[in-house]
Amino acid sequence: MTAKMKKLMVPVLLLLSFTICQGQRTRCKDPSEEHLRQKLYRLSPDSLLLTKSDYVPDVRMKKCPTSVNTSSELMQDRSISPWSYRINKDMNRYPQEIVEAYCLCRGCVTSKETSMVSEPFYKEVSVLYKSSKCKKSRYVYKLRYVRVAQFCICRFH
């Protein structure tokens, strides 16, 4: 290798190492909460998710009651197929936390009939999922639909 080639190699190597270092410093970040909320509304304006402010999730899982609670103000307590709520959390989804119902009983509270079962009623809701793609230093989120339990109902088995 000649002296002239060595002189040319040094700036090229410096430029290449600077470019590599810059690439490592530019990491992909999540868009803001407001940006994701607006994107979800724009892509799916009828998205109806149960939020924590609408329903209070349980701290501990509840058990099946022996009878219908007629004195409660909550519909899920007065139902013959009672239910409660828990948080479904996914850090790669917007919203990260979704409130979903879970049935408290296998059967129906007032029915002695063993052919009646309590089961969740599902609704498909739109959410945004984080992809591995990065655009303008931000992760790209894609619209998807997930089934979320809304409440529980009794039906014949």
| Amino acid (one-letter) located at 51 | T
pTM of the model: 0.71
Is residue 120 within 8 A of residue 151, CB to CB? The reply is yes
Burial of 126 (0-12, 13-18, 19+ CB in 10 A): middle
Domain boundaries, the chain: 47-156
Note the pLDDT of residue 102. 94
Residue-wise pLDDT for 118-155, tens only, equals 999 999 999 999 999 999 999 999 999 999 999 999 99
The domain defined by 47-156 folds into: Cystine Knot Cytokines, subunit B (2.10.90)
Give the dihedral of Cα atoms 51, 54, 59, 62; nearest 10 deg.
-110
